[in-house]
Amino acid sequence: MNLPSPRTPDPLHAPPLNWGILAPGGIAATMVEALQRFTRQRVVAVGSRSAERGASFAQRFGIGRVHDSYEALVADPEVDAVYVASPHSHHRDHALLAIAAGKHVLVEKAFTRNAAEALEVVDAARAAGVACVEAMWTRFLPTTDIVRQLLASGALGEVETFTADHGQWFALDPASRLFAPGLAGGALLDLGVYPVSYASFVLGAPTGVVARGTLTETGVDRQVSAVLTYASAAQSVVHTTLAARTPTVAAISGSEARIELDGPFYTPRVVRLVTRDGEVHESAPPVIEGHLGLCHEAAHVAQLVADGASESPLLPWRETISVMETLDELRAQVGVRYPGE
């Protein structure tokens, strides 16, 4: 049995956009490297509140213009699209800033702090007629398209269970954004969003959520385990933690077969299909490996812009909001509320 080939376009084929990077941190550096290596996208400007940091980032990647404020970045007439890579706590404000300037936006996951903020951003993008996409990069990978086709074909039979975990170890540092309530820290928005979003991809919005968790001494979620239920008999079991490096694997189990994704499941992976009788079938290895797969989401945005579209069919606005609603409920059940909510 041959698994389906991914239909994901080569990111090199996407028409180029001029990108501005808002907040030049670690994930932004990985994105720029991915764009420069695997696409025709042009990173033309970077905006940072630290002139020194912005200049260093620009020099590292050969970026021509450095802005010492985000307002100046989004006002740059050479910038077509803005990649919002600031902390979760600021995604809403920075996305709205770019949209108000008429820029297309790719907003890092988690999209915002909560569903209400997500709706604000989506409504603004719709009114402005600009492309707006959550940077849940897993959705745009060739691996995910293979899974998408297997689910659509019924190869698994009736899906019974989705399981996934994402845990990483971080030293407790109250000054780090991961542990700061004011920066919307915690395991869920940074790590748990991956299994929660993938559960949505597989089974849609849950009808019920049961969660248990523990908090850090700073008051953000340290560890969360949850069972999500659906209108069908299916369930998702998801887990996240800031305090241990877990296997980060995922599986989709059905009446006829299961799909296995080795860790980290959210990166480009081999897809393994195991039938009920124990036959094993695997896809070819990914062409673009690791976090360099970030290039796919930016290429997707560029194609949306070329097509005159604002919303991604692979991750529609309604689903981005729905995932935030699930995360809101998980946070509520474990007792995490961010300042100002």
What's the CA angle centered on 216, arms 319 and 24, to 5 degrees?
60
pLDDT digits (tens, 9 = 90+) for 172-215: 999 899 999 999 999 999 999 999 999 999 999 999 999 999 99
% of residues, the chain, pLDDT over 90 = 98
pLDDT digits (tens, 9 = 90+) for 315-332: 999 999 999 999 999 999
> Would you list the DSSP string of 298-331?
HHHHHHHHHTT--S-SSS-HHHHHHHHHHHHHHH
Residues of the chain with CATH 3.40.50.720: 11-135
Q: Which amino acid is at 248?
A: T
At residue 101, the pLDDT reads 98
- Thinking of the domain 139-288+314-334, which architecture would CATH place it in? 2-Layer Sandwich (3.30)
Q: Is the pLDDT of residue 340 over 90?
A: no
CATH 3.40.50.980 fits 11-135, yes or no: no
Tokens of residue 228, six digits: 């999500």
pLDDT digits (tens, 9 = 90+) for 92-112: 999 999 999 999 999 999 999
Per the DSSP assignment, residues forming a β-bridge with 119 are: none
Residues of the chain with CATH 3.30.360.10: 139-288+314-334
pLDDT digits (tens, 9 = 90+) for 283-310: 999 999 999 999 999 999 999 999 999 9
C-beta of residue 256 within 8 angstroms of C-beta of residue 176: no
At residue 201, the pLDDT reads 98
User: Residue 278 — left, alpha, or beta (φ > 0 → left; ψ -120 to 50 → alpha)?
Assistant: left
Report yes or no on whether pTM surpasses 0.95: yes
E strand map for the chain: 18-22, 42-47, 65-67, 81-84, 104-108, 132-135, 159-167, 208-215, 221-229, 235-241, 250-254, 257-261, 272-275, 280-282
